[in-house]
């Protein structure tokens, strides 16, 4: 009987993992996470466009020391992706009110919970596989574009950090977010856990830089422990030596894996199936119905093209600002920009350049992805035939929606201006760079951002194939990053500099 029960449990777990992989493979949020990590790591090794490691000096980007720091940093940076994926899995059945139906089968709730976690972990391991793939492809691009002058990336350079840093980081963070979502039943606690991880990460690094070894254990991602373990390495050692696997680095890994294990055991002990509350679900359903009504009502009442344009604009605005993928990209862009611009907060010109430079990749991703979603959304939801039957020209619908999406996407440049105002005050390094940031980010960078959106929409309309259009656009942006296309903006940069 016990053997039969174990066999049934194993079969159920495999089925749950396979189901999650199939389901997530159709979710653009999972592909978005893979794409973000892939482009970040390509940009890091292909050119100087993306900075993932500070204090490189003369150390090559493909050196084992630099690759280890980059891989640990990307997993820390990518926890927003982990949080969104974990929340999507652990909260889906409660939101859709299917948890009770699933648990009415012979599947035990413990097997259900473990299967959901393993499915989440499998999806995230696939997503984070983008890191070694991107690093390898970026190094190859750099070698080709420099005629062999750049150093190739050796396989051994990322195998050790992949096993010691990336995989444990994914496991720890996934367990924490999954447990937070399962036990709380809401996304707010997941968000608070993510903020706690960022606090521990930054505090650990600051303690290590101040000479306190405790910081090596406090950092959940291993960057602080790696920094301490290699503190006495010179340029030659950083270029040639493999990542160390002794001392506080291994202690850090063991500590956080042990904490994740205890959290998993505690979740199995304390979690019980819950019935979805009525109010949040009703509120979400009402909101969706309201948005649809706002979208369709003017056309049904014989509205003018101007009224339909406004309705479509409102629809586009509501749609993009309530998208979790947009929120994830926005948070990632701000985190990356702030982390890289903090040291430049005393120089307004350098601060604005750093903010714009380190958020550019995410602006490209947002414009490219949401242009495609804008063009293909009706066909994906099978409402295109219904909308074509309404007395509203297709051009009016597309223009209105594009305007609404553009308004939503303006959140990024506006937030960058706010960051340029607050960052010098928080760092205590000088006066806010509000005017300079407004001139450059809103006057030059944001219009270019909107131009990317328009170009992407045109490409999708001309190609008329979602996957091919996305691949074409993404390939173009990757090539532009690798070739240093930011120099194309040089004639306009002078206008945005402070003091000019």
Together in a domain, 135 and 47: yes
Whether residues 257 and 308 fall in one domain: no
- Whether 389 and 414 map to the same domain: the answer is yes
Last residue of one domain, picked from the residues 224, 251, 270: 270
Per-residue tokens: 267: 């979740």
Q: Are 235 and 59 in contact (CB under 8 A)?
A: yes
pLDDT at 258 over 90: yes
Q: Which pLDDT score, from 0 to 100, does residue 253 have?
A: 92
- Total domains, the chain: 2
Residue with tokens 């997530």: 24
Cβ neighbours of residue 204 closer than 8 Å, sequence gap 6 or more:
215, 216, 217, 218, 219, 220, 223, 224, 225
Residues 257 and 316 in one domain: no
Q: Is the Cβ–Cβ distance between 120 and 178 less than 8 Å?
A: yes
465: pLDDT confidence band, cut at 50, 70 and 90? confident
Average pLDDT over residues 75-88: 79
Task: Please indicate, yes or no, whether residues 24 and 68 belong to a single structural domain of this protein.
Answer: yes
Distance CA 437, CA 373 (A): 30
Looking at the structure, tell me whether residues 286 and 266 fall in a common domain.
no
Write the pLDDT tens digit of every residue in 235-251. 888 888 888 877 888 99
Residue ending a domain, choose from 239, 270, 301:
270
- 250 and 310 belong to one structural domain: no
pTM reported for the whole predicted model:
0.64
Give residue 287's domain range: 278-496
Domain closes at, from 234, 253, 270? 270
Residue 458 neighbours by CB under 8 Å, 6+ apart? none
pLDDT digits (tens, 9 = 90+) for 319-345: 888 877 788 778 878 877 887 777 777
* Helical pair 64-77 and 167-184, crossing angle rounded to 10 deg: 10
* Separation CA 214–CA 221 (nearest Å): 14
The verdict on 428 and 319 lying in the same domain is yes
> Are residues 222 and 314 located together in one domain of the fold?
no
- Give me the percent of the chain exceeding a pLDDT of 70: 79
312 and 249 in a common domain: no
Same domain, residue pair 235 and 87 = yes
Which of 268-272, 425-429, 486-490 is least confident?
Answer: 486-490
The pair of three-digit structure tokens given for residue 333, joined into one six-digit string: 């862009």
User: Do residue 404 and residue 322 come from a single domain?
Assistant: yes
**Buried/exposed 155-187: b ≥16 CB within 10 Å, e otherwise:** eebbebbbebbbebbbbbbbbbbbbbbbbebeb
Kindly tell me if the per-residue pLDDT of 94 is higher than 70: no
């Amino acid at each position: 009987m016990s053997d039969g029960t174990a066999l049934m449990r194993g079969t159920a777990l495999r089925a749950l993992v396979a189901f999650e992989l199939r389901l997530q493979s159709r979710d653009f949020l999972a592909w978005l996470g893979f794409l973000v990590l892939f482009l970040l790591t390509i940009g890091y090794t292909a050119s100087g466009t993306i900075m993932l490691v500070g204090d490189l000096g003369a150390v090559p980007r493909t050196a084992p020391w630099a690759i280890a720091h980059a891989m640990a940093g990307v997993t820390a940076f990518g926890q927003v992706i982990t949080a969104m994926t974990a929340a999507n899995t652990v909260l889906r059945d409660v939101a859709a009110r299917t948890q009770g139906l699933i648990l009415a089968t012979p599947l035990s709730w413990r097997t259900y919970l473990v299967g959901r976690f393993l499915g989440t972990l499998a999806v995230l391991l696939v997503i984070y596989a983008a890191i070694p793939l991107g690093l390898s492809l970026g190094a190859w691009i750099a070698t080709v574009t420099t005629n062999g002058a750049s150093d190739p990336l050796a396989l051994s350079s990322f195998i050790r950090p992949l096993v010691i840093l990336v995989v444990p980081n994914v496991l720890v963070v996934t367990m924490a977010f999954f447990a937070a979502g399962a036990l709380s039943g809401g996304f707010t606690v997941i968000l608070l856990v993510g903020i706690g991880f960022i606090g521990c990460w930054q505090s650990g690094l600051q303690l290590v830089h101040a000479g306190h070894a405790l910081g090596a254990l406090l950092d959940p991602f291993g960057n602080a422990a790696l920094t301490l373990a290699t503190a006495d390495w010179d340029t030659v050692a950083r270029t040639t030596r493999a990542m160390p696997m002794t001392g506080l680095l291994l202690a850090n890994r063991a500590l956080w894996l042990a904490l994740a294990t205890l959290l998993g055991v505690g979740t199995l002990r304390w979690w019980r199936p819950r019935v979805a509350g009525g109010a949040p679900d009703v509120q979400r359903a009402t909101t969706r119905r309201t948005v649809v009504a706002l979208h369709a009502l003017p056309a049904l009442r014989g509205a003018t093209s101007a009224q339909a344009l406004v309705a479509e604009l409102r629809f586009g605005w509501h749609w993009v600002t309530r998208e979790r993928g947009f929120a994830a990209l926005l948070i990632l862009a701000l985190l990356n920009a702030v982390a890289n611009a903090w040291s430049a907060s005393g120089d307004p010109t350098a601060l604005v350049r750093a903010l714009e430079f380190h958020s550019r990749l995410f602006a490209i991703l947002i414009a490219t992805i949401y242009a495609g979603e804008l063009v293909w959304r009706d066909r994906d939801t099978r409402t295109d035939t219904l909308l074509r039957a309404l007395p509203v020209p297709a051009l009016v619908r597309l223009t209105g929606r594009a305007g609404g999406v553009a308004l939503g996407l303006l959140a990024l440049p506006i937030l960058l201006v706010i960051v340029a105002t607050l960052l010098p005050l928080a760092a205590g390094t000088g006066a806010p760079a509000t005017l300079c940031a407004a001139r450059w980010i809103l006057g030059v960078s944001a219009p270019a951002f909107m131009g990317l959106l328009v170009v992407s929409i045109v490409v999708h309309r001309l190609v008329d194939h979602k996957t091919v259009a996305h691949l074409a656009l993404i390939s173009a942006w990757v090539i532009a990053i690798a070739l240093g296309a930011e120099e194309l903006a040089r004639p306009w940069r002078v206008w945005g500099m402070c003091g000019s």
